[in-house]
């Protein structure tokens, strides 16, 4: 049984996007012997799309022992969930590991990030206890002031990690703080700091490592950020991060749909929703959709946002925990009609970026919010 409110996850669009990104990166092959590898970011349940399904679909594109594909998630627990579902591709864990139980990294063959001397020591101790060598990525903080060894302090802090006999540094990476903002000078500054950090590490005797830096926005903005691998999240899910002029076209993977469960009239001056969120300035008709903030619809959508019904926009007048009320005074609707919250209907489309703009956030947050109560429906071929 499928609830009236559900998310369609089009895994064909996902694999389409992956192939398009690969082609786009292949354009560099003229200047450099190889195109950068893709580290597909599937943290936070693949931005709400379902991490295991997404991982399996991506593995089906990259044949062989997961081909050149690498996956990335936020913590060890997310990585273990993928391994337990049979995902074989290498999995990079982004998060800081200082307070985690690290045995899972070894037992499940995950690739952790070393982002501090403490993390290096803890990983070294775990690897030594298991009598194994552990392949890791080293993170350099070039301006986020979050995870990673400070770019200007590497000579002092990194030697700990280099001395660890059980740790093998496969890659060095950083992350941009302002890749979405075309004009911000920090973007280029971070790239320069990263390159200095890479030189410093080479000077300290570290060699044979690869490097990566770019999320979706960065890889679209500046090819100099491609290095040996790129880390797209948003782009894989078919969302263009910024209004950016690019040859790459992707297709949205997620659509969020519901149905109208009630239609009723309101007299002038009557109010709808808790705390009288909406007051009817004229005789109105409103319709109720069985999805609310528990499903990820933000309270602040009331008064600013719309949904699609019968191919037209109906503005949201009230959002509560389990339901949302929309103004359908100008649309001829009946109970049972299909409603699109994110996606297309008729000639119109509401995408995650538009919803994000309505409430002043980023499209990542909109996708991740897709609630646990919302059933995900996948293309049957990918079962
Ligand atoms: C989430 C994340 C990404 C992906 O970012 P998008 O903007 O979704 O492409 C890349 N790198 C790191 C370290 C991340 O945490």
- Using the mean position of ligand 1's atoms as its centre, give its distance from the Cα of residue 340 in Å: 27
Per-residue confidence (pLDDT) for residue 29, from 0 to 100: 61
Per-residue confidence (pLDDT) for residue 382, from 0 to 100: 74
Per-residue confidence (pLDDT) for residue 246, from 0 to 100: 81
Q: How far apart are CA 77 and CA 302, in angstroms?
A: 36
Q: Splitting the chain (383 residues) into consecutive groups of 10 residues, what average pLDDT does each group show?
A: 91 97 81 83 97 96 73 96 96 84 93 94 93 96 93 89 87 94 90 97 93 96 94 97 81 97 95 86 96 95 96 96 96 97 97 96 95 92 72
- Containing H/E element for 73? strand 70-73
- Alpha carbon 8 to its chain's center: 17
Per-residue confidence (pLDDT) for residue 98, from 0 to 100: 66
Q: Is the CB of 95 under 6 A from ligand 1?
A: no
Q: Is the CB of 231 under 6 A from ligand 1?
A: yes
DSSP string, 5-69: SEEEE-HHHHHHHHHHHHHHHHGGGGTSSSPPEEEEE-HHHHHTT-HHHHHHHHHHHS-TTTTT-
For the chain, give every residue range classified as CATH 3.20.20.10: 36-237
Q: Is the CB of 238 under 6 A from ligand 1?
A: no
Looking at domain 254-378, its CATH architecture is Beta Barrel (2.40)
Residue nearest to atom 6 of ligand 1 (CA): 233
Task: Note whether 72 and 78 are within 8 A (CB).
Answer: no
Q: Is the CB of 41 under 6 A from ligand 1?
A: yes
Residue nearest to atom 4 of ligand 1 (CA): 233
Q: Give the right CATH number for 36-237 from 3.40.50.1100, 1.10.3720.10, 3.20.20.10, 3.40.30.10.
A: 3.20.20.10
For the chain, give every residue range classified as CATH 2.40.37.10: 254-378
Going by C-beta distance under 8 Å and a sequence separation of 6 or more, which residues neighbour residue 229?
36, 37, 38, 39, 70, 171, 210, 211, 212
Please identify every residue annotated as catalytic.
Answer: 43, 274
Rounded to two decimals, what is the model's pTM?
Answer: 0.94
Per-residue confidence (pLDDT) for residue 28, from 0 to 100: 65
Residues 338, 307, 257, 299: is their CA dihedral positive or negative?
negative
């Amino acid at each position: 049984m499928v609830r009236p409110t559900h998310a369609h996850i089009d895994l064909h669009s996902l694999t389409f996007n992956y192939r398009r990104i690969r082609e786009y990166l292949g354009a560099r092959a003229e200047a450099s012997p190889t195109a950068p590898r893709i580290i597909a970011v599937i943290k936070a349940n693949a931005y709400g799309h379902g991490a295991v399904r997404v991982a399996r679909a991506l593995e089906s594109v990259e044949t062989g022992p997961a081909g050149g594909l690498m996956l990335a998630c936020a913590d060890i627990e997310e990585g273990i969930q993928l391994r337990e579902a049979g995902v074989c591709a290498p999995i990079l864990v982004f998060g800081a590991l200082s307070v985690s139980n690290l045995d899972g990294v070894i037992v499940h063959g995950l690739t952790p990030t070393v982002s501090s001397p403490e993390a290096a020591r803890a990983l070294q101790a775990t690897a030594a206890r298991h009598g194994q060598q552990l392949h890791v990525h080293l993170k350099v903080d070039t301006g986020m002031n979050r995870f990673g060894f400070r770019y200007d302090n590497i000579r002092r802090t990194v030697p700990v990690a280099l001395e660890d006999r059980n740790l093998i540094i496969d890659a060095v990476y950083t992350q941009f703080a302002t890749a979405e903002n075309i004009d911000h000078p920090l973007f280029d500054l971070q790239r320069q700091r990263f390159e200095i950090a890479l030189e410093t590490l080479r000077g300290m005797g570290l060699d044979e490592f690869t490097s990566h830096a770019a999320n979706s926005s960065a890889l679209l903005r500046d090819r100099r950020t491609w290095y040996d691998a790129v880390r797209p999240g948003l782009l894989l899910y078919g969302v263009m991060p910024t209004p950016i002029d690019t040859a790459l076209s992707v297709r949205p993977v997620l659509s969020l749909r519901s149905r109208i469960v009630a239609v009723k009239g309101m007299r002038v001056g009557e109010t709808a929703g808790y705390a009288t969120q909406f007051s009817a300035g004229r005789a109105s008709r409103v319709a109720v959709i069985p999805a609310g903030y528990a499903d990820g619809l933000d309270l602040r959508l009331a008064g600013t946002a719309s949904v699609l019904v019968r191919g037209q926009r109906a503005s949201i007048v009230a959002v509560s925990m389990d339901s949302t009320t929309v103004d359908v005074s100008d649309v001829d609707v009946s109970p049972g009609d299909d409603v699109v919250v994110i996606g297309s209907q008729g000639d119109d489309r509401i995408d995650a970026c538009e919803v994000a703009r309505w409430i002043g956030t980023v499209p990542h947050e909109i996708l991740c919010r897709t609630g646990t109560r919302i059933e995900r429906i996948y293309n049957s071929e990918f079962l």
